Amino acid sequence: MSVKAPSTGGLDMMANLTLYPSTQNTARTWNGSANLNLRESYFKVSGDFGSLLVGRTLNTFGTKAIVSDMGLFGIGGQYIGDTTLGRIGYGYTYANFGAQIKWTAPASGPVNFSISIEDPSKIVGQSTYSASSTSITASQLDSPRWAGSIGTSNNMGGMDVGVTGEWMFQNADFTGAQRATNAQATNGNADGDVTAYGLAGTVSVATGGLSVLWSGYTGEALGTFFHLDVDSLDGVGNERDNDGWYVQGTYDLGGGTNVGISYGESSQDETAYDTANRSSHALIEDRTLLSAMVWHNINDNLRLVAEYGHVEDEWFDSVSRESDAVSVGGFFFW
């Protein structure tokens, strides 16, 4: 729900409140399984200075990858929570929604630029993906997360070309007994602090009914699914290196019907601790997803979707698994 105030003194002002209901539930108590999620609550002021957004909305880093993913309207990777994944964990990490102050520069030709000060997150890790996994958290947060984006779009030789770059940086520290335990462990984090950073880029080309897109990211302590969460660190507090990418092609057949295909992966590197403990709990190395989709817009308010997805996961000890899924569904827009 959005409301807009009358323009006053050269300022345009609006506020937005967004509720995300879900039809899935795992009966857990954590927020990822809530049936009604208040994801956005912010106001924005625009003028000659650009625009200033204050409140809760999608974090800057990783936004372009997720909003460009055709899998938003499908299932994608399988997940036990209350939402479907699309390509989260299989080509990009989830940007998540967070409190922030975000300034976007005034429009200047084809270039757009923004920078945001965001609510920092605890940086979480675990030793493995098994029942014997041990979690570890850098929970002391003394400074905000910083993020930004820059993008441009042009028409070149009859093709619409867009390029976007994003970055993110955040620190967190371990406290008390966990800090001492890490420092004393073999291959442990001796400094007691953690640095997470990320770089991402997206390139898109569209001509006629054909659109092609590539998106990729790299960084440290990003995690494979959710930003700075779950598996960003090893069992003794060291940052893991993460990277991923996906390529996507869609074609408008006309009459409201579109087809698309995409392929991508998310990967992480072992730390010295992970390598030394591989025999007891190997870390997952790569997640890949091949997705094919067809959707038809009956009108501006109703969309029908059919999708096929093939997932492959591989661990550092050469164990792997595969799964296939076919899904059909619909969306109502207003």
Q: Which residue has the higher pLDDT, 215 or 158?
A: 215
Q: Which domain holds residue 7?
A: 2-332
Q: What is the DSSP string of 257-286?
A: EEEEEEEEEEEE---HHHHHTTTTSPPEEE
Alpha carbons 235 and 100: distance in angstroms, whole number:
30
Q: Which residue has the higher pLDDT, 334 or 276?
A: 276
Provide the pLDDT for residue 89: 92
Q: Give the alpha-carbon dihedral of 32, 36, 37, 40, to 10 degrees.
A: 160
Instruction: Select from 51, 46, 68, 157 the least CA-distant residue to 103.
Output: 51
Provide the pLDDT for residue 86: 85
pLDDT tens for each residue of 225-245: 888 988 899 988 999 999 999
**What is each CA distance from 197 to 150, 169, 179, 203, 220, in whole angstroms?**
17, 4, 21, 21, 5
Number of compact structural domains in the chain:
1
Span 178-193, mean pLDDT? 83
Handedness of CA 170, 197, 321, 249 (dihedral sign): positive
Span 256-269, mean pLDDT? 96
Residue 56, SS3?
A: strand
* Structure token digits, residue 143: 């400074």
Handedness of CA 235, 228, 163, 259 (dihedral sign): positive
136, 125 Cβ separation under 8 angstroms: yes
Burial track 92-130 (b if 16+ CB lie within 10 A, e otherwise): bbbbbbbbbebebeeeeeeebbbbbebebbebbbbbbee
Per the listing, tokens 């106001």 go with 43
CATH number of the domain residue 54 falls in: 2.40.160.10
Q: What is the DSSP string of 128-163?
A: -SSTT--EEEE-B--S-EEEEEEEEEEEETTEEEEE
The rounded Cα 311 to chain-centroid distance in angstroms is: 18
Provide the pLDDT for residue 26: 55
Q: What is the DSSP string of 202-225?
A: EEEEEETTEEEEEEEEEEES--SS
Q: Which residue has the higher pLDDT, 25 or 155?
A: 155
* Structure token digits, residue 205: 């080309």
272, 280 Cβ separation under 8 angstroms: no
pLDDT tens for each residue of 1-22: 889 999 999 999 999 998 777 6
pLDDT tens for each residue of 61-112: 999 999 999 998 888 886 655 567 789 999 999 999 999 999 999 987 789 9
pLDDT tens for each residue of 140-151: 999 999 999 999
Provide the pLDDT for residue 307: 96
Provide the pLDDT for residue 34: 55
* Lowest mean per-residue pLDDT among 10-14, 17-21, 209-213, 262-266: 17-21
